[in-house]
Amino acid sequence: MIGIFDSGSGGLTVLKAIRDVMPSADILYFGDIRNAPYGEKSREELSRLTVNSIRVLQARGATSIVSACNSVSASLAISLFDSLGLAQQNLIEMVGPTVSYFKDFKKPILLAATPATVSSELYQSAFRMLGITIDAVAIPKLAGAIEFGVSATDQERLIAAAFAPYDLEKYGALILACTHYPLAGASFRKVLGEVPFFDPAEAVAERVKRQLWPREVGDGTLRLLVSRDTPQFRAQAAKMLPDASYLIEVVD
């Protein structure tokens, strides 16, 4: 069974993408809404929350793990594989598949992410090693605003303030490097216009299929776990998974 974790509803974008390419996979999702948003937390806090999320999934039968949160990628140290009994090929995060997708890209890239993801420098370092020009834009409080249903007008205000210093015409792509951000795609489009957007969920889903199929073929069952129940999460799940059968369980 594939276990997916995120700080809340953002990872549903990754869940949907994985189900689109591997509909027969059994999937267990954990949204840690009680501790959301992750993107404003320290690396030490992220490490603790990452270990807890993986253990929640493993305790319920997950054998492969997908970290659907860009902010925790810096916490996925090699030491975790041994301490959590995970084979390295059984853990997939967001940064590697996304950078690989753009490895032959020739134009400058703009990356929108949480403060934790930007400060980790993971994306910037990887792209620069490939000789690709990248600028990273942190958007404080946006992930939390999306998670807890803050109005589209306020979301647009946060986006506009973050991108005000940038000339969007010089970039060939804008990577939405927080899984919550595609949920606010209309707000990004209203503020930023027709700059080409990229949702890393696509690259991650393709990596999951390549790395975990056919080992993770099952009956297509789906379970959703949350550390706190909210109407916003239920609404996003219903919107993202309109034809899926699932139960939402609150866990400690």
What letters, b where the CB count within 10 A reaches 16 and e where it falls short, cover 61-90?
A: ebbbbbbbbbbbbbbbeeebeeeeebeeeb
SS3 content of the chain, % helix, strand, coil (to 5): 50, 15, 35
- N-term to C-term CA, the chain: 21
The Cβ of residue 113 has, within 10 Å, a number of other Cβ atoms equal to 26
**Residue 215: other Cβ atoms inside 10 A:** 12
The verdict on whether 69 is a catalytic residue reads: yes
Cα–Cα–Cα angle for 131, 134, 137, nearest 5°? 165
What CA–CA distance (Å, rounded) separates 6 from 207?
18
Catalytic residue among 15, 112, 178, 205: 178
Q: Distance between CA 1 and CA 63 in Å, rounded?
A: 6
Task: Quote the distance between the C-alpha of residue 200 and its chain's center.
Answer: 8
Q: What's the chain's length in residues?
A: 252
In angstroms, the CA 169 to CA 166 distance is 9
Residue 178 is among the residues annotated as catalytic for this protein: yes
| Catalytic member of 22, 46, 69, 80 | 69
Integer Cα distance of 157 and 162 in angstroms: 9
Active site residues: 69, 178
